[in-house]
Amino acid sequence: MSESFGDTATAESDRTTTGGTTADGPTTAGETDERVREEWTQFSFQGEPKLAVEDLDVYYGDDHALKGVSMDIPSESVTALIGPSGCGKSTFLRSLNRMNDRIKSARVAGSVELDGEEIYGSGTDLVELRKRVGMVFQAPNPFPKSIRENVSYGPRKHGDIDKSLLARLTGRDDSEAERELVERSLKQAALWDEVNDRLDDNALGLSGGQQQRLCIARCLAVDPDVILMDEPASALDPVATSKIEDLVEELAEDYTVVVVTHNMQQAARISDQTAVFLTGGELVEYDDTEKIFENPESQRVEDYVSGKFG
């Protein structure tokens, strides 16, 4: 067991006292001109971090979208990322499984460790990384295939399930394993009861909320450690949203969930700890969710969570 952060004050935080927390009053954006204090983002917890982010910068061309973000994420819990539009939440989330690699103009500097291993090394197997760190997007994006195939696609691609002609001819066909996997994943995603009688129907015939749970099932089917979710419920109605919220809380018993949301109540309801990013791509405060919502250190965070701006 080790505490993940030291508690020594740094020169960096001394610098911040000169700006004062509220001395300069609100800016045109409605934010107070306070400086970020390093200790506000030093969230301590028991055990080793699942993900350890150190001094992460992300640039899109000349645009500096994330600035020196350091943040340790505990395992088997829900971490919420909140902040106004454009503050870098999606950029941060994508940096956790190197999805930013797919964006031509993006450049990443700094370090991200998964279970103590650097993911930004040149030797990282990106397919394996994204299997361990899965992602669910804002808009449900099932493949235009059957419900069953959507779930089994990943394991088949990774070679965990083989239904090829050769496999069939040699008696090593994995149809039974596939059936079990599809059932388990759909149950985990709280969708099984609604679709078990139509697994061969096209997934695009499902409702939006069902499609999103199918995408979660697809993500779970490859047995990840970490699930990244970028506003997974923002396109859904209140009933479907509450199903996703319940599901996220349940998943955190076995998985490490990192979820971006614009919905303060949702972050407060479902997360264990909350990281607040504010305009300019800085992580401003990171702590227990209750602390962030009830008694944050930063005036800007206080203004943001109480709805004064953003």
Binding site for ligand ATP (CB under 6 A): 60, 63, 65, 83, 85-91, 103, 105
Residue 91 interacting entry, from ligand ATP, Mg ion, none, C-beta within 5 to 8 Å by type: ligand ATP
Q: Which is nearer to ligand ATP, 104 or 125 (CB)?
A: 104
Rounded distance between C-alpha atoms, residue 106 and residue 128, angstroms:
21
DSSP 146: B
Show the CA angle centred on residue 14, arms to residues 8 and 16, nearest 5°.
Answer: 125
CB 148, CB 171: distance < 8 Å: no
The minimum distance between CB 174 and Mg ion, in angstroms, equals: 37
The minimum distance between CB 237 and ligand ATP, in angstroms, equals: 20
Cβ-Cβ contacts under 8 Å for 10 (sequence gap 6 or more): 38
- Binding residues vs Mg ion (CB under 5 A): 90
Residue 274 interacting entry, from Mg ion, ligand ATP, none, C-beta within 5 to 8 Å by type: none
**Number of residues assigned to the chain:** 310
DSSP 34: P
Q: Which is nearer to ligand ATP, 161 or 276 (CB)?
A: 276
Q: Which is nearer to ligand ATP, 106 or 268 (CB)?
A: 106
The minimum distance between CB 41 and ligand ATP, in angstroms, equals: 17
Q: Which is nearer to Mg ion, 174 or 231 (CB)?
A: 231
Residue 63 interacting entry, from ligand ATP, Mg ion, none, C-beta within 5 to 8 Å by type: ligand ATP
The minimum distance between CB 241 and Mg ion, in angstroms, equals: 17
The minimum distance between CB 128 and Mg ion, in angstroms, equals: 26
- Token pair, residue 152, equals 């089994």
Taking the alpha carbons at both ends of the chain, their separation in whole angstroms is: 38
Residue 103 interacting entry, from Mg ion, ligand ATP, none, C-beta within 5 to 8 Å by type: ligand ATP
The minimum distance between CB 229 and Mg ion, in angstroms, equals: 11
Rounded distance between C-alpha atoms, residue 163 and residue 168, angstroms:
7
Q: Which is nearer to Mg ion, 89 or 130 (CB)?
A: 89
CB 222, CB 255: distance < 8 Å: no
Cβ-Cβ contacts under 8 Å for 220 (sequence gap 6 or more): 134, 185, 188, 189, 227, 251
Q: Which is nearer to ligand ATP, 41 or 90 (CB)?
A: 90
